Amino acid sequence: MIVPFHGSAIRISSLIAPAFGIELCRLQIEALPAFRAEMLGSFFDPARRGHIYVMTKDRDAVAAQPADRAGWSYAGPALTERLSRVERVRLIRERVTARLDGQPVAWTADRGLVVDIADDEPCLLLASPESAEQALFLPVPRLHRALLGSSPAPGATARELLGYGEWPEPFELALETLRT
């Protein structure tokens, strides 16, 4: 969930949909013209560290608590200052041609956003093939730099990072970043 100072809130999530007898993953971006902050469920506040806002059993109340799930916390500095220097946002689009059960298949999917930060590394928002609705926020790309055209670390090619590392048949992946 992104709640800008001006304009509509935006929800970013993963959408996993069946296609060709398999599941494909893409980023889903939705404008939320109206929302109640207390009913958002879990979301990240860039001004704080290590807190996740969760809905309590009392659906009218919300509580801040330390993250209790692996991967739901962020150990770096608060992101408010860094995210105030966003220069542009780019879309990561994958184009795949492959064979599945001997038949040719092809698709195009929007898999992530690159948030370019002035005088700093970009942040990434990526659709996750592991869980519907879950999008990954990577304040520092590290291994995922391979998605930006940088030299991949061993075992961290774009194909592996996007979940296609064990595809059994011929597979071609092309990534492009588009200005939004």
Mean pLDDT by 10 residues, the chain (180 residues): 61 81 83 62 49 49 54 66 86 92 91 91 84 76 82 76 83 89
| Cα gap 9→33, rounded to integer Å | 7
**72 part of a folded domain:** no
The residues, ordered by sequence, that sit 6+ positions from 153 with a Cβ below 8 Å of its Cβ are: 143, 146
Is residue 61 within 8 Å of 37, Cβ to Cβ? no
Residues 42-73: tens digit of each pLDDT: 445 555 444 444 444 554 555 555 555 555 55
User: Is residue 166 in some structural domain?
Assistant: yes
Print the domain residue range for 19: 9-36+81-179
Asked whether residue 64 is domain-assigned, the answer is: no
Contact 27, 113 (CB under 8 A): yes
Question: What domain count does the chain have?
Answer: 1
Residue 111, in any domain of the structure = yes
